[in-house]
């Protein structure tokens, strides 16, 4: 039997997004080893196949006869083997099969990708456990099926370089207490919350790499169900992890296509600022000043690294001043330290460096900002911070492109009510896409 290819539109769209730039390279031949699992391999295998093939980077074959397909000849064509396999019958590979699998990795240098319950397989087989890097054994467990945040803790590895520090993962089993081997390189963690899901109140590894002989191994315990595989984070890790395991390099981009709101649409939860000056009205953040002597900021609680931010802003009167802080620090004085996309007459579309002494980095109002802005009306601001580059657009017009020699990898996002006369500034439809 060959697993039938079916995948949701979301998975196919995500794979297509990640395929940009991958089509020029020769396809990497990948086998998905499956056919038995204590999880629904019949549903998950087609999703894995669709994600991989949909990227344009991989040529995939499903090996769903695990007691016949593991031979030197059968494994020979492939550069990587994706394990979606956990024998529930109690069977074990014959010595020749076990040797063929280990030899394919350790001696011939084929990559291995371990998905979810594949780390449950073959208890007591030490060489397999060493290859896994972390195994579900007697100490392991998981709480309830739920959505959770995954935090990238190693952003220097080729698989995770450039990915957001945190992404929201679809409902899944969050494994805890895996038996980890020494020497693994942990790339990502998630918090196993006792109160929320019946976990153990500890950060648990969600992605790691290791070497097994000449072979490279990427392992993620994410991916319990087909629906768990639909998040951008899982798709990205699977594609980049498979490419790295097979080739030692990563060419697939780490774009996360979801745009997520920066407000909950009800109140200022997740933001910090002076309640006398800042309030929420529906989905709009309102900063209103009777006239103040010092700048006032409303900042996000969490920090952001690489991102694109879209927001609609209206300033009345236009002669006053506001701004959007990015990658900025909160100072004890109440000021912010860092980049500001400027708002106001004489300033729209320019890039300022608040409280740093560098002041105006790009002055673009006269040439671009004044022509793009709608006075006393709603304007769509788009701010892009990728690595050390900042780009600003107003109503689709690029007003600033700046590459800094100063390294500021992350910081808070904030909005400003400037010192001076009375003003009202409104921000709505705040959406962020983390990169």
Ranges 59-68, 215-224, 250-259: which has the least confidence? 250-259
With both helix axes pointing from N to C terminus, report the angle between 232-247 and 9-18 in degrees, rounded to the nearest 10. Answer: 50
Q: Is the pLDDT of residue 163 over 90?
A: no
Residue-wise pLDDT for 21-34, tens only, equals: 444 578 999 999 99
Mean pLDDT, residues 292-311 taken together? 95
More confident residue, 91 or 3: 91
Say what the pLDDT of residue 167 is. Answer: 82
Question: Could you give the count of Cα atoms lying within 13 Å of 267 in the half-sphere of its Cβ?
Answer: 4
pLDDT of residue 355: 96
Mean pLDDT of the chain: 92
Name the pLDDT band for 2 (thresholds 50, 70, 90): very low
- 217 has a pLDDT exceeding 60: yes
Produce one character per residue of 345-380: b if its CB has 16 or more CB atoms within 10 Å, e if not: bebbbbbbbbbeeeeebbbbbeebbbebbeeeeebe
Domain locations along the chain: 9-247, 260-434
Matching fold, domains 9-247 and 260-434: no
SS3 366: helix
**113 CB contacts (<8 Å, ≥6 apart)?**
80, 81, 82, 83, 217, 218, 219, 238, 241, 242, 245
In the prediction, which pLDDT does 255 show? Answer: 58
Indicate if the pLDDT at residue 19 is higher than 60. Answer: no
pTM for the whole thing?
A: 0.62
pLDDT for 111 equals 98
Is 9-247 a CATH 3.50.50.60 domain? no
User: Alpha helix locations (H) across 76-216?
Assistant: 95-106, 126-132, 194-197
Q: Are 286 and 279 in contact (CB under 8 A)?
A: yes
What span, in angstroms and rounded, lies between the C-alpha atoms of 290 and 278?
A: 12
CA distances from 418 to 121, 375, 435 (A): 61, 18, 30
Question: Mean pLDDT across the stretch 295-304?
Answer: 96
Under 8 Å between Cβ of 186 and 153:
yes
How many residues would you count in the chain?
435
Least Cα distance to 235 among 434, 3, 4, 10 occurs for 10
Residue 165 has pLDDT above 90, yes or no: no
Side-chain half-sphere CA neighbours of 19 within 13 A: 19
Q: What pLDDT is recorded for position 196?
A: 85
Q: How far apart are CA 324 and CA 313, in angstroms?
A: 10
**Is residue 281 pLDDT above 80, yes or no?**
yes
Q: Work out the pLDDT band at 15, boundaries 50, 70, 90.
A: low
Q: Is the pLDDT of residue 316 over 70?
A: yes
pLDDT of residue 173: 97
Note whether 245 and 80 are within 8 A (CB): yes
Q: Which fold would CATH assign to domain 260-434? A: Jelly Rolls (2.60.120)
Asked whether 256 and 164 are in contact (CB, 8 A), the reply is yes
3-class DSSP assignment, residue 316: strand
Question: First CA to last CA across the chain, in angstroms?
Answer: 39
Tell me if residue 181 falls in helix, strand or coil.
Answer: coil
Please tell me what DSSP assigns to residue 27. Answer: P
61 φ/ψ angles, rounded to the nearest 5 degrees: -130, 135
Q: List the structure tokens of 104.
A: 């394919």
User: Cα torsion at 23, 24, 26, 31 (round to 10°)?
Assistant: -20
Closest CA to 213 of 104, 312, 295, 290: 104
């Amino acid at each position: 039997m060959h697993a039938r290819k079916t995948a949701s539109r979301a998975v196919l769209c995500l794979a297509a997004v990640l395929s940009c730039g991958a089509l020029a390279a020769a396809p990497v031949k990948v086998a998905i080893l499956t056919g038995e699992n204590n999880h629904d391999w019949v549903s998950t295998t087609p999703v894995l196949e669709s994600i991989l093939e949909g990227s344009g980077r991989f040529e995939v074959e499903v090996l769903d006869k695990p007691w016949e397909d593991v031979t030197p000849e059968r494994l020979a064509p492939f550069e990587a083997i994706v394990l979606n396999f956990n024998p529930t019958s109690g069977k074990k590979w014959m010595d020749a099969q076990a040797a063929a699998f280990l030899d394919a990795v350790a001696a011939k240098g084929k990559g291995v990708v371990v998905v979810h319950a594949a780390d449950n397989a073959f208890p007591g087989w030490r060489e397999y456990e060493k290859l896994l890097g972390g195994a579900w054994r007697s100490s392991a467990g998981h709480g309830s099926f739920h959505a959770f945040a995954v935090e990238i803790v190693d952003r220097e590895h080729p698989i995770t370089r450039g990915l957001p520090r945190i992404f929201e993962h679809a409902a899944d089993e969050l494994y805890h207490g895996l038996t980890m081997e020494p020497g693994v390189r942990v790339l990502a963690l998630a918090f196993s919350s006792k109160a929320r899901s019946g976990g153990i109140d500890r950060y648990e590894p969600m992605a790691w790499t290791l070497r097994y002989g000449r072979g490279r191994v990427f392992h993620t315990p994410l991916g319990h169900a087909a629906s768990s595989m639909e998040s951008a984070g899982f798709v990205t890790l699977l594609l980049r992890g498979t490419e790295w395991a097979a080739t030692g390099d990563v060419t697939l981009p780490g774009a996360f296509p979801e745009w997520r709101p920066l407000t909950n649409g009800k109140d200022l939860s997740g933001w910090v600022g002076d309640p006398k000056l800042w309030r929420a009205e529906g989905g709009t953040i309102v900063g209103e000043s009777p006239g103040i002597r010092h700048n006032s900021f409303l900042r996000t609680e969490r920090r952001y690294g690489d991102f694109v931010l879209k927001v609609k802003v209206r300033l009345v009167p236009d002669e006053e001043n506001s701004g959007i802080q990015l990658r900025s620090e909160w100072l004890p004085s109440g000021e912010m330290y860092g980049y500001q996309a400027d708002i106001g007459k004489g300033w729209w579309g320019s890039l300022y460096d608040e409280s740093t002494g560098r002041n105006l980095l790009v002055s673009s109002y006269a040439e671009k900002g004044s022509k793009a802005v709608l006075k006393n009306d709603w304007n769509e601001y788009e701010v892009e911070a990728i690595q050390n580059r900042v780009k600003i657009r107003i109503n689709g017009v690029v007003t600033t492109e700046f590459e800094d020699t100063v390294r500021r990898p992350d910081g808070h996002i904030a909005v400003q009510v400037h010192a001076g006369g009375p003003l009202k500034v409104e921000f709505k439809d705040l959406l962020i896409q983390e990169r």
